[in-house]
């Protein structure tokens, strides 16, 4: 038996391909299924099952389309009741796969009500468990993604589910779907895979012996929920079409559709030198799709601005992974178009500016980051709040706004949002607020 993992870093998730004597089991596939099917073909494996542990909140599933493409049997938790053909998985009712392979569904509610893990047995012996969003490495799946009204009930259920999985033999491999970088984890998850025994000895949530105490822990400091999450559950319940082509047609800057949201994916220095007024700048990286889905109206028409030769197919794929199929084209030459600009400063130059009398600083990190390393005197707004709540009233348009985050990535996005509203942004580049706090302290005590 082999378990092949496919990590999608920007979403903090993993898909798995289990192979056994020429048969394959695909677990929690994301929408871009070609990479999984290619891996199965390379191993000369016939896909026998496609398993879904739950109706995902953070990405559009490729499970239905993978089953259609390959003829595999699609299995979902019985209580999920999606609107497309599938085999319902019932608690502890084994699903036979042939050649000594069987799957045992284990109802593990908590992350979602229907959540089901799958225990893999070979010749009747348990060897691995796919735990989806239940027991994670050093953590557990969040219980609050379906709303605060249900969160405590789901948190109590998660207690029983964690205990149920922890009762498995310690040598069993643990293969969760969510991991580090996922907003579906209740706390910072560590490695991506583990064993039951390792989690019993090191997972702090398994040391809690009371359902109410666990609920308190899981709900004590919830992470923000990306705006696009509200669309993922319904999409995965009703089903989605296959992935769109990853190519985007080339457009001239003079041919931009009037209703399009322009997204600049170029490196930040290119953006700083000149970007289209009204555009939002999100550098292309692993988490591009997540930030785009969080910051823009869902399913809005999109035009990308990219460097010549830049990989726009990656941008289109990341958007499609969260169900956004509305990229209408890409502009690679701004020509003589009017542009806006912003300053990029290194730590020393930014610190000197921030230390001047009357300097106004905007901190766009997450609330937990701000609490862990506060920047005295800064206006604190998490980046997405600039979209939902507008630019903070405390900021003065007549003076530069010094913007900082953890590395400059989110500050660059904020700079384009500020410029859209007539502010003059200055970005801390290549350093974070903790570095700035230390640098200011050194400067002020020198």
Q: What is the mean pLDDT of residues 334-359?
A: 95
Region of 299 (left: φ > 0; alpha: ψ -120 to 50; beta: rest) is left
The upper half-sphere exposure of residue 194, i.e. CA atoms within 13 Å in the direction of its Cβ, equals: 27
Q: In 303-427, which ranges are continuous DSSP H helix?
A: 312-321, 347-354, 367-372, 385-388, 409-420
* 410: nearest Cα among 251, 294, 258, 303: 294
**Model confidence band, residue 320 (pLDDT cutoffs 50, 70, 90):** very high
Q: Please list, residue by residue across 47-63, b when 16 or more beta carbons sit within 10 angstroms of its beta carbon and e when fewer do.
A: bbbbbbbbbbbbbbbbb
**Model confidence band, residue 180 (pLDDT cutoffs 50, 70, 90):** low
- Please check the confidence at residue 66 and state whether its pLDDT lies above 80: yes
255 has a pLDDT exceeding 60? yes
Lookup: tokens for 132: 């989806």
53 neighbors 133 (Cβ within 8 angstroms): yes
Q: Is the pLDDT of residue 74 over 90?
A: yes
Provide the CB-side half-sphere exposure for 58 (13 A, CA): 31
pLDDT recorded at residue 354: 95
pLDDT digits (tens, 9 = 90+) for 391-442: 999 999 999 999 999 999 999 999 999 999 999 999 999 999 999 999 988 8
d(CA 405, CA 431): 8
Task: Return the sign of the alpha-carbon dihedral for residues 216, 217, 219, 220.
Answer: positive
CB count within 10 Å of CB 390 equals 11
Give the integer Cα–Cα distance in Å for 1 and 81. Answer: 31
Residue 188 pLDDT greater than 70, yes or no: no
Q: Is the dihedral of CA 121, 180, 306, 320 positive or negative?
A: positive
Pairing state between β 194-195 and 173-176:
antiparallel
What is the band of 153 on the pLDDT scale with cuts at 50, 70, 90? very high
CB 305 within 8 A of CB 275: yes
Tens digits of residue pLDDT in 197-223 = 999 999 999 999 999 999 999 999 888
Confidence of residue 184 (pLDDT cuts 50, 70, 90): very low
In sign, the C-alpha dihedral spanning 353, 339, 311, 236 is positive
Mean pLDDT of 279-292: 97
pLDDT given at position 181: 53
Q: What is the mean pLDDT of residues 310-326?
A: 96
Q: How many CB atoms lie within 10 A of CB 307?
A: 14
> Which of 203, 233, 227, 199 has the alpha carbon at shortest distance from 217?
203
Q: Could you give the maximum distance between any two Cα atoms of the chain, in Å?
A: 75
Q: Which residues contact 244 (CB under 8 A, 6 or more apart)?
A: 316, 320, 325
pLDDT at 15 over 50: yes
Using N-to-C axis directions, what is the helix angle for 433-445 and 347-354, rounded to 10°?
60
pLDDT in tens, 110-145: 999 999 999 999 999 999 999 999 999 999 999 999
Q: Which two tokens stand for residue 109?
A: 């509610």
Contact 89, 75 (CB under 8 A): yes
> Which residues, including other chains, have CB under 8 Å from residue 220's CB and lie 6 or more apart?
none
pLDDT in tens, 32-63: 999 999 999 999 999 999 999 999 999 999 99
Report the candidate in 257, 265, 243, 204 with the shortest Cα–Cα distance to residue 322.
Answer: 243
């Amino acid at each position: 038996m082999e378990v092949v993992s496919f990590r999608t870093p920007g979403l903090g998730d993993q898909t798995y391909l289990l192979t056994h004597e020429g048969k394959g089991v695909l677990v929690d596939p994301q929408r871009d299924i070609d990479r999984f099917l290619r891996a199965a073909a390379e191993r000369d494996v016939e896909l026998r099952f496609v398993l879904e542990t739950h109706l995902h909140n953070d990405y559009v599933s490729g499970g239905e389309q993978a089953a259609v493409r390959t003829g595999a049997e699609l299995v979902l938790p019985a209580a999920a009741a999606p609107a497309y053909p599938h085999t319902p998985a019932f608690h502890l009712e084994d699903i036979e796969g042939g050649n000594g392979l069987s799957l045992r569904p284990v109802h593990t509610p908590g992350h979602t009500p229907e959540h089901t893990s799958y225990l893999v047995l070979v010749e009747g012996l348990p060897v691995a468990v796919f735990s989806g969003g239940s027991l994670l490495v050093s953590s557990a799946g969040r219980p609050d993604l379906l709303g605060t009204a249900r969160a405590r009930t789901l948190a109590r259920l998660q207690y029983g589910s964690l205990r149920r999985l922890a009762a498995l033999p310690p040598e069993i491999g643990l293969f969760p779907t969510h991991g580090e970088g996922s907003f579906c984890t209740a706390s910072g998850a560590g490695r991506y895979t583990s064993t039951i025994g390792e989690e019993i000895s090191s997972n702090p949530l398994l040391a809690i012996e009371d359902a109410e105490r666990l609920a308190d822990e899981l709900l004590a400091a919830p992470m923000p929920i990306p705006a696009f999450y509200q669309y993922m559950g319904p999409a995965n319940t009703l089903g989605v079409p296959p992935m769109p082509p990853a190519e985007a047609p080339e457009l001239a800057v003079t041919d931009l559709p009037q209703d399009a949201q322009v997204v600049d994916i170029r490196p930040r220095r290119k953006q700083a030198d000149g970007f289209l007024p009204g555009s939002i700048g999100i550098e292309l990286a692993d988490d591009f799709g997540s930030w785009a889905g969080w910051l823009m109206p869902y399913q809005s028409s999109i035009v990308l601005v990219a460097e010549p030769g830049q990989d726009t197919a990656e941008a289109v794929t990341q958007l499609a992974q969260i169900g956004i199929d509305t990229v209408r084209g890409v502009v690679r030459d701004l020509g003589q178009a009017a542009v806006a600009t912003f300053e990029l400063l290194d730590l020393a130059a930014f610190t000197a500016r921030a230390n001047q009398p009357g300097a106004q600083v905007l901190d766009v990190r997450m609330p937990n980051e701000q609490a862990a390393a506060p920047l005295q005197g800064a206006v604190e707004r998490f980046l997405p709040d600039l979209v939902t709540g507008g630019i903070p009233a405390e900021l003065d348009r007549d003076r530069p706004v010094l913007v900082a985050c953890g590395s400059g990535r989110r500050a660059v996005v904020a700079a384009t949002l500020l410029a859209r509203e007539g502010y003059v942004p200055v970005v801390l580049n290549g350093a974070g607020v903790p570095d700035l706090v230390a640098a200011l302290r050194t400067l002020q005590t020198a």
